[in-house]
Amino acid sequence: MENQAAKELLYKMADDALIIGHRNSEWTGIGPMLEEDISFSSMAQDKIGHSWALFKILNKLGENEPDIVAFTRNAEQFHNCQMVEFPIGEYNFSLVRHFFFDLAEYHRYEMLEDSSLGDLAQLARKIKGEIKYHVLHAKTWMKNLGNSTEEAVSRLQGSLNELYPMALGMFEPSPFEDQIVSDGIFGGESELMSKWRSSVMEIIDQTQLELNIDGDWNPLYGGRSGVHTEHLQPLLDEMSEVVRTDPAAEW
Amino acid sequence: MESLDPRVNRMKIGGFDGELHKEAMDQLGTYEVFLIPKDGKPLESVGPVHASDAEMAFVFAKEAFSRRFECVAMAVCPTASIFPSPVSEADISAYDLVTIPAETEGENRQYEVFHMNKRGKFHKHVGSVEAIGDIDALYKGKDEYGVDKPKNVWVVPTGDFHFNAEEDSDLWATLPEKKYRDAIFYKAGEKIQRYKESVNS
């Protein structure tokens, strides 16, 4: 049972990064403009890199090799929140998801910079600049489009309302919540959520968008314990196609 | 048959008489991107991005121009803020081709001066001057840096640049580890050879 709390944290972080990285990479080549296509694709690649780094830490804690863990599990063995597995939709959906997700990533990694789990603290410090860019990208777009045309504002507003309960699913409490906090590994999901909500509203308040964070929202939980939508398994099938065709493939 | 090739249409080959101009505002304006590849090197121009404002231009520039290789700092300015000299040939300094008189009135402000020392190379930052206008800045640039005989000179009002903050140089901290974004990272020659042999045998 040793390290179980740490593993739960690492798995959900790694799976979040892997699945959103894969999803966002689906915009490669079809982004709304060339510059944005390049930016969004690069960030998707960064996310895959983060998942790889987290799987490496898990590997040191006794789990399988990153490729095996990433490509050979079924949907119910994944611990990502459900938000990240939804199809990319139209760009407003992907953009708002990126905004919610990366603001949470920013605070999560910031909180982990002095984690008692040394490898995780080191990773958090190392990728600080990458996450900083992801957040800058998300905020700049939200402020820009959230103050532009009627169509842009109404599209973003629709996605905010649709995605907010999904985003709350990112903070589904872990069964090890008390232990992870008392062990000094991580400050906990509720502290993270409160930081995240402030950051979200700081940006929303600079736009024509609205979000009633104190409203009666029903968080979309389940992902952390392996309960997923019908969208995850097809994604995993596609992601692992090469490995399943030729397990010894190298490139 | 009417050609759809814009190059043909622009030249009116075959008497094309359609509308040649794009509708106003059908695309975003451009910003010029500059970066410092490593500490101690000068800021250099690397190309343009389309963007609605300077902040968005910076966001795009970061991935369009520094997702590979090296970078420690970046700046963008509206392309329209760049005032270029004429382009020179051979041993002639571009500064010597500036013949129009400098402005005589205006507030003194700071300009950044960039030289292109060889055709096709990036414009590199050589220093700053105080001037009352764009042309005046070219003359001031000649006084300060003219000995280099550049093939082209850009002067840009310093205030028109949008830089990354000093503490944000960590945006590029992990760049040296992203060699996989480079084609030369993939050594495929041997594998291709092996594959060819297996197919041929």
ipTM: 0.93
Q: Where in chain B are all domains bearing CATH 3.10.20.520? A: 1-80+161-193, 82-160
Q: Looking at the predicted structure, is the pLDDT value of residue B151 above 90?
A: yes
Structure tokens at B13: 């080959």
pLDDT at B19 over 90: no
pLDDT bucket at B184, cuts 50 / 70 / 90: confident
pLDDT exceeds cutoff 70 at A183? yes
Answer whether B63 sits within 8 Å of A128, measured CB to CB. no
Q: Do A39 and B186 touch (CB under 8 A)?
A: no
Considering only alpha carbons, which residue of chain B is nearest residue A50?
Answer: B174
The pLDDT mean for chain A works out to 96
Q: Which residue of A38, A133, A251 is in closest CB contact with B171? A: A133
Q: Which residues of B touch A126 (CB under 8 A)?
A: 173-174
Question: How far is Cα A20 from Cα A52, in angstroms, rounded to an integer?
Answer: 13
Residue-level pLDDT at B159: 97
CA distance A22 to chain B (A): 17
HSE-CB at B60 with a 13 A cutoff on CA atoms is 26
Question: What was the pLDDT predicted at B69?
Answer: 87
Q: Does A32 touch chain B (CB under 8 A)?
A: no
B115 close to B147: Cβ distance less than 8 angstroms: no
> What's the predicted TM-score (pTM) here?
0.91
Residues of B with CB under 8 A from a CB of A: 28, 49-53, 55-56, 59-60, 62-64, 67, 168, 170-174, 181, 186
pLDDT reported for residue B200: 84
Per the listing, tokens 């040793």 go with A2
Alpha-carbon gap, residue A122 to A44, rounded angstroms: 21
Give the strand order in the sheet containing B124-131.
Answer: B83-84, B152-157, B109-116, B124-131, B44-50, B30-36, B73-78, B162-163
Per the CATH hierarchy, to which homologous superfamily does domain B1-80+161-193 belong? Phenylacetic acid degradation B (3.10.20.520)
Q: What distance, in Å, lies between the first and last C-alpha atoms of chain B? A: 51
Nearest by CB to B50, from A35, A39, A136: name it. A35
pLDDT, tens digit, for every residue of B45-66? 999 999 999 999 999 999 999 9
Mean pLDDT value across residues B112-125: 95
Q: What is the pLDDT of residues A98-152, one digit of tens each?
A: 999 999 999 999 999 999 999 999 999 999 999 999 999 999 999 999 999 999 9
Give the nearest partner residue to A35 out of B55, B60, B186, using CB atoms: B60
- Region B13-34 average pLDDT: 68
Mean pLDDT of B89-112: 94
- Looking at the domain that runs over A4-210+220-245, which CATH code has it been given? 1.20.1260.10
Q: Write out chain A residues lying below 8 Å of B28, CB-based.
A: 33
Q: Is the pLDDT of residue B22 over 70?
A: no
Residues of chain A with C-beta less than 8 angstroms from the C-beta of B50: 33-35
CA-based nearest residue to B125, from B147, B102, B143, B141: B141
Q: Do B62 and A39 touch (CB under 8 A)?
A: yes
A126–B174 C-beta distance less than 8 A: yes
- What was the pLDDT predicted at B186? 85
CATH topology of domain B82-160: Ubiquitin-like (UB roll) (3.10.20)
Residues in chain B: 201
Question: What integer pLDDT is reported at residue B23 of this predicted model?
Answer: 55
pLDDT value at A1 more than 50: no
Range with the poorest average pLDDT among A72-76, B1-5, B132-136: B1-5
Chain B contact for A248, CB < 8 A? Answer: no
Residue B167, min C-alpha distance to chain A (Å): 10
Mutate to test the interface with A, among B68, B170, B177 (most CBs of A within 10 A): B170
Average pLDDT value for residue range A144-171: 97
Q: Which amino acid is at A34?
A: L
Q: Please report which confidence band the pLDDT of residue B17 belongs to, taking 50, 70 and 90 as the band edges.
A: low
Pick from A107, A84, A60: nearest CA to A167:
A84
Which residue's structure tokens are 């397990």?
Answer: A247
Provide the 10 A C-beta neighbour count for residue A223: 26
Return the pLDDT at A69.
Answer: 96
Give which of A127, A108, A120 is closest to A193, Cα–Cα. A108
Q: Is the CB of A126 inside 8 Å of chain B's CB atoms?
A: yes
| Interchain contact, A38 vs B168, CB within 8 Å | no
A18 token code pair: 């892997």
Is residue B90 packed enough to be buried (19+ CB in 10 Å), middle (13-18) or exposed (0-12)?
A: exposed
